[in-house]
Structure 1
Amino acid sequence: MQWSPGEVIVHQEVWSDRVWAARPLVVAEDSPDRLLLWLPKGTRRKVPMTPPERVDPGDRTARIIGLLERGDWVHVDHVWDVSCLWILRPATWHAVWISWLPSGEQFGWYINLQRPFRRTSIGIESMDLALDVVAEPDLTWSWKDDDEFDQILSRGIFDGETGQRVREEAAAVISRLEGNEAPFNEPWPQWRPDPAWPTPELLPGWDDPSP
């Protein structure tokens, strides 16, 4: 299955055979070696939340860990607050996001550690693996959610093999970042979406874990 620029697809995150989160994206490019997806500011997505019959811990990390451990959650709406382009490559354990301020100025880079994506009838499926790397436009970087990742590993939610694979992937991407290698040395900050592309909306079946 291959998509054309401007088509809307759904990115599903799946955990314990249930959709964990879902968001619509606009296809910018679909080729054998990469998939580019546009996520504009104002896009509405679905995120997991504590069921109303339980007391929510209030703390985001505690909430995420509790939901992953229990394997039950409800979905609530969340509006995306920054426009970004996702750069994904087949069989890789991360995605690179580049984002922009409303002025058009580059906001920064975001390396999202995740399971390799697979194509579905409505889009792609993967699963966020908690650990992230955030970089400024000048490529100075820092960890994000590393404490959450360590807690998830220590509680056995992710197995040791997954933890090792994520750390290896992060180290490899950071090496490219520090070496100013692709995609960080490419002209992505000057990239712009087609102004005719819509703000995407979720497609029917977004909550089906095996479309």
Structure 2
Amino acid sequence: MPLRPGRPVLHRHFTRDTLVWAPMTRVVSDDEQGTRLWLATGSPLIREVTVDGAGPRDLPFADWIETPKKIIQDVYRGPHCLKFHPRDAAYSVWWLFDPSFAFLAWYVNLEEPSVTWDDGDLAGIDLTDQDLDIWVYRDRRWGWKDEDELEERLAFPDAYWVGDPDAVWAQGRAIVPAIEVGDWPFDGTWTDFRPPADWTIPEPVTKGWDRPRERG
């Protein structure tokens, strides 16, 4: 069954089967085209950190994978974000907005195809981020992001969750022509999106967030 608009949904990111990042979002739409989610600044966030509170970008990957970790409840501090997951696609496209809802940029997140689950009281979307991303500015200038992280982590195949970097690069390159000519989804659609006025920040999830990962 499609997820109803407005429903709170946990957007869970995994490294293999380990939960590492999960903000609370709201469903904008869920249909044959794909799933759109709204992530508002200030939304509850579950994330993995070291026992000392460091994040994965605070230390070399070789140290990160050997350091004990814990899950904490936190708050999302990034820009407002409209996330679109096309059906069965190995990427999502994000529309980023400032606090006044002015459109800032697109962001292409390369990832394993997402899988939706619904436990009744709680629903979610599960995926694995594949690190490599693309920034796309309003004038459609674009650039790769985090290619250095991808390269660094590939040196640790037993610990790293990206098994086929060539496929990740190929997926990214396949999106570039649409960016450069302004085709969908980089044609201005949804750049004027506003969430419904009655949407509030979702409540934090304290139960069910740690259910096993859903796979397609």
TM norm. shorter chain > 0.5: yes
Paired amino acid for 1:11: H
Which consecutive residues of structure 2, in runs of 5 or more, have no partner in the other structure? none
The answer to whether the 8 A contact 2:102-2:192 is kept is: no
* Structure 1 length-normalised TM: 0.87
Higher normalized helix content (fraction of residues): 1
Distance across 1 between alignment mates of 2:91 and 2:126: 13
Q: Are residue 153 (structure 1) and residue 154 (structure 2) matched?
A: yes
- Residue 123 of structure 1: aligned partner: 124
Runs of 4+ that moved beyond 6 A: none
Distance across 1 between alignment mates of 2:80 and 2:191: 12
Secondary structure of the structure 1 residue equivalent to 2:59 = helix
- Residue 110 of structure 1: aligned partner: 107
For residues 16-45 of structure 1, give each alpha carbon's deviation from its aligned partner in whole angstroms, at most 9, with x where no partner exists: 422122111100001022111000111121
Instruction: Give runs of aligned pairs for residues 37-52 of structure 1, distance below 5 A.
Output: 37-52=37-52
The answer to whether the 8 A contact 2:80-2:101 is kept is: no
Q: Are residue 93 (structure 1) and residue 90 (structure 2) matched?
A: yes
Paired amino acid for 1:74: K
Stretch deviating more after TM superposition (72-81 or 186-195): 72-81
Stretch deviating more after TM superposition (12-21 or 145-154): 12-21
Shift of residue 65 of structure 1? 5.5
Paired amino acid for 1:168: A
- Residue 83 of structure 1: aligned partner: 80
The answer to whether the 8 A contact 1:19-1:208 is kept is: no
Instruction: Give runs of aligned pairs for residues 2-21 of structure 1, distance below 5 A.
Output: 2-21=2-21
Change (3 A) 1:16 1:182: closer
Distance across 2 between alignment mates of 1:65 and 1:197: 42
Q: Are residue 138 (structure 1) and residue 139 (structure 2) matched?
A: yes
Distance across 2 between alignment mates of 1:86 and 1:112: 10
Secondary structure of the structure 2 residue equivalent to 1:104 = coil
* Structure 2 length-normalised TM: 0.85
Residue 207 of structure 1: which of 184, 206, 210 is its match?
A: 210
Secondary structure of the structure 2 residue equivalent to 1:177 = helix
Secondary structure of the structure 2 residue equivalent to 1:173 = helix
Distance across 2 between alignment mates of 1:95 and 1:137: 18
Distance across 1 between alignment mates of 2:187 and 2:44: 31
- Residue 57 of structure 2: aligned partner: 60
* Higher RCO structure (Cα 8 Å, ≥6 apart): 1
